[in-house]
Amino acid sequence: MTLDLSLLPDGGTGWLDASGEHSDIVISTRVRLARNLEGYAFSGRARDGERLRILTQAREALADMPMLSDGVILRVDELPAEDRLLLHERHLASKELAGLNDVPVRSGAALYLSGRFGVMINEEDHLRLQALHSGFAVADAFARVEELDNALGARLPYAFHQEFGYLTACPTNAGTGLRASVLIHLPGLVLTKEIGKVLAGLQSVGLTYRGLYGEGSEVVGNFFQISNQTTLGRSEGELLDYLVRVVHHIIEREEESRRVLLRDAGYIIEDKLWRAFGTLRYARSLSFDEAMNYLSGVRLAVGLKLIGGLSVYTLNKLLIFSQSAHLGRSEGRALTEIEANVARARYVRETLAAETV
Amino acid sequence: MTLDLSLLPDGGTGWLDASGEHSDIVISTRVRLARNLEGYAFSGRARDGERLRILTQAREALADMPMLSDGVILRVDELPAEDRLLLHERHLASKELAGLNDVPVRSGAALYLSGRFGVMINEEDHLRLQALHSGFAVADAFARVEELDNALGARLPYAFHQEFGYLTACPTNAGTGLRASVLIHLPGLVLTKEIGKVLAGLQSVGLTYRGLYGEGSEVVGNFFQISNQTTLGRSEGELLDYLVRVVHHIIEREEESRRVLLRDAGYIIEDKLWRAFGTLRYARSLSFDEAMNYLSGVRLAVGLKLIGGLSVYTLNKLLIFSQSAHLGRSEGRALTEIEANVARARYVRETLAAETV
């Protein structure tokens, strides 16, 4: 079985469309709920047969829901490695579900996708319900995932404890099972060296940050994922309100940093960002980190209105489609690192040439 | 008095036209003869009145020569500093004649320019006859300057000694008074790290090298001026033949280096050169050294046919017109270093935008 991306609703890229609020700074918002089914061990400890029964139950429940008529289910465990990486690069499957990092993919690992929702099946938890939304849209994303949760919960026996709430494989997820995260671009705070204070402040209020690809991933290109740290002991409403308030504050500080940069170092910044554009526009080989860093510069330049004619949607697309598995997919074969760097430079170059003067 | 460049035959830029042999590697060839007049102290020790009489004598001799009807004479000592720097940047006046480097300009310092020749008057020697030619054209440049020398020598009493030949202020110039130099671009030899051997070889055969602006100037942008070291005890023909043979050999080694680079590191070189182009194409501030280094990359790329649509003439023009006094001239005022960097980036950017796709 090879993944046919055309089967996926909008290829799973609706969240790139730059439609939400503050979409030049906030790329996307994700809300996920961790749920497990009564009567089975957690995925990591379950036998193959158990996981397959979980998959069957989930599939039947999903098929029973009229609101999900546009969805597809992918047997992640039957996909070749490049396709699993592709789903991960597209922010649709976690590393754990996709069986990356030399950990073999778990049998029964599957991914349900519709235009509005996703469900990872047999990830760390039996079910990870998620909604990914373009821009800063915590309430919208939560409303979607809550709708899905209500419908699924009516059809599946969730593991729930009167005192602890929803039970999860990792105790940090117990309670609401909620994690809301915002992928945010903070080059202004990095350039003004304010970022350290902002990140330290996050941790003191129960939030945390990660790189582009979640837990354990490094920060590249000044992209940060900010999310709640724990879920136990608070209501969903409280957790979300809190995240929204803090992120609003960070957006204001980022905007303030950008104003300061332009005021105090205008031509230096302008020069730096245009050089980033020039490199992306003409380089013949680009490593992923390099591409992310220069794209960060170009994104900032577009935000500051220094570079015109380039849409935020294009910038979002470049972030995702310049990754190795995506490049391999468009070249029709797996690429060595050197080949991927050459293909990345070509893809970025041609995309920018087509969209700018 | 302010310099009106339109009075100069072709603005003194005929040597940029990329018409000579090997003009992608050899920018220009210069041949000069040092001559002094009997009955005066050398310029550095002469009194003001003597130098003015030398100027008068030279001016009368030049005016008497029908072949020079298109020439103009500039009183360098009456020009403001920016104009003297401009003549130096255009390779028409030496640092000494232009009175740069905090040494005041000498009274009586003057420059005769026609489309084919130049004469510096009251430089280190009373007269420095020179011909500057595009590309690798030692014989042509010498033929021109010899014609001028014969005509002037018939009208002026040259200081000449039976045994030592032409007498000059500095003994290294005595004898023929000839210096022939070739401005050559050797990025291939620099990138393959062969350049050290080539330069060491030069010195062992009586040749020497300098940077873009002659004695004491640093090498930038992989541009070298290669010339004969001494003139005493050899005929003009021997000196020129020798230089021509050695430079031909260096051109071959440079071409070989370029083949090796493309063969062994093709995509790395291609990437490096296109990035140089991208930076020049979009930067908002460029120091002179930076501009020279990136232009060196672009010149190599044009030589390797990696970048098309850009003429060697344009590249030559960029070398000269991106210098501070030239930028100040086109902005209509003297520029601070920061302003010059911004003006340089704009000039380079707009020139490349107009000539490439």
pLDDT digits over B47-72, tens only?
Answer: 999 999 999 999 999 988 877 777 88
At residue A217, the pLDDT reads: 67
At residue A350, the pLDDT reads: 95
Domains of chain A: 1-175 (3.30.590.10), 182-357 (no CATH)
At residue A18, the pLDDT reads: 77
Kindly tell me if the per-residue pLDDT of B142 is higher than 90: yes
Q: If you ran DSSP here, which 8-state letter would residue B86 be given?
A: H
pLDDT level of residue A30 (50, 70, 90 thresholds) = very high
At residue A14, the pLDDT reads: 78
Phi, psi of A165 (to 5 degrees): 85, -150
Contact residues, chain A, for B274 at CB < 8 Å: 282-284
Distance from the Cα of residue A69 to its chain's centroid: 24
At residue B101, the pLDDT reads: 73
pLDDT level of residue B12 (50, 70, 90 thresholds) = confident
Distance CA B129, CA B162 (A): 21
Outline where A154-194 has alpha helix (H). 187-191
CB crowding A100-128: b at 16 or more within 10 Å, else e: beeeebbbbbbbbbbebbbbbbbbbbbbb
Residues of chain B above pLDDT 70, percent: 95
At residue B135, the pLDDT reads: 93
At residue B294, the pLDDT reads: 97
CB A231 within 8 A of CB A179: yes
User: How many residues in total does chain B contain?
Assistant: 357
Asked if A279 lies within 8 A of B278 by C-beta distance, the reply is yes
Q: pLDDT per residue over A298-356, tens digit each?
A: 999 999 999 988 999 999 999 999 999 999 999 989 899 999 999 999 999 999 998 87
Contact residues, chain B, for A283 at CB < 8 Å: 271, 274-275, 278
Q: pTM for the whole thing?
A: 0.90
* B274–chain A nearest CA distance, Å: 5
Distance CA A90, CA A321 (A): 8
Question: Looking at beta carbons, which pairs linking A63-69 to residues 24 or more positions away fall under 8 Å?
Answer: A64/A155, A65/A151, A65/A152, A65/A155, A67/A147, A67/A151, A68/A114, A68/A117
Residue with the bigger pLDDT between B13 and A259: it is A259
At residue A9, the pLDDT reads: 66
At residue B252, the pLDDT reads: 96
User: Which of A4-8, A26-30, A231-235 comes out lowest in average pLDDT?
Assistant: A4-8
Of A271, A278, A342, the CB nearest to B278: A278
Mean pLDDT in residue range A81-98: 91
Asked if B282 lies within 8 A of A268 by C-beta distance, the reply is no
Distance CA B307, CA B309 (A): 7
Q: pLDDT per residue over A139-188, tens digit each?
A: 999 999 999 999 999 999 999 999 888 999 988 888 899 999 999 999 99
Q: pLDDT per residue over B268-286, tens digit each?
A: 999 999 999 999 999 999 9
Of B268, B270, B284, the CB nearest to A274: B284
Kindly tell me if the per-residue pLDDT of B1 is higher than 90: no
CB B129 within 8 A of CB B144: no
Residues of A within an 8 Å Cβ radius of B: 267-268, 270-271, 274-275, 277-285, 338, 342, 345
Mean pLDDT in residue range A259-268: 91
Kindly tell me if the per-residue pLDDT of B293 is higher than 80: yes
Kindly tell me if the per-residue pLDDT of B97 is higher than 90: yes
User: Judging by DSSP bridges, how do beta strands B110-113 and B118-121 pair with one another?
Assistant: antiparallel
At residue A215, the pLDDT reads: 58
Instruction: Give kind and range of the element (H or E) at residue A301.
Output: helix A288-303
Closest CA to B7 of B87, B102, B61: B87
pLDDT level of residue B214 (50, 70, 90 thresholds) = low
Residues of B within an 8 Å Cβ radius of A: 267-268, 270-271, 274-275, 277-285, 338, 342, 345
At residue B204, the pLDDT reads: 82
At residue B217, the pLDDT reads: 66
Q: Which of A262, A274, A293, A341 is most worth mutating to test chain B (most B CB atoms within 10 A of its CB)?
A: A274
At residue B216, the pLDDT reads: 62
At residue A32, the pLDDT reads: 95
* B284–chain A nearest CA distance, Å: 4
pLDDT level of residue A212 (50, 70, 90 thresholds) = confident
At residue A13, the pLDDT reads: 77
* B318–chain A nearest CA distance, Å: 19
The mean pLDDT of chain A is 90
Asked if A270 lies within 8 A of B277 by C-beta distance, the reply is no
Q: Which two tokens stand for residue B279?
A: 């930076």
The mean pLDDT of chain B is 90
Q: Which of B284, B294, B357 is most worth mutating to test chain A (most A CB atoms within 10 A of its CB)?
A: B284
CB B286 within 8 A of CB B345: yes
Kindly tell me if the per-residue pLDDT of B175 is higher than 90: no
Mean pLDDT in residue range B331-338: 92
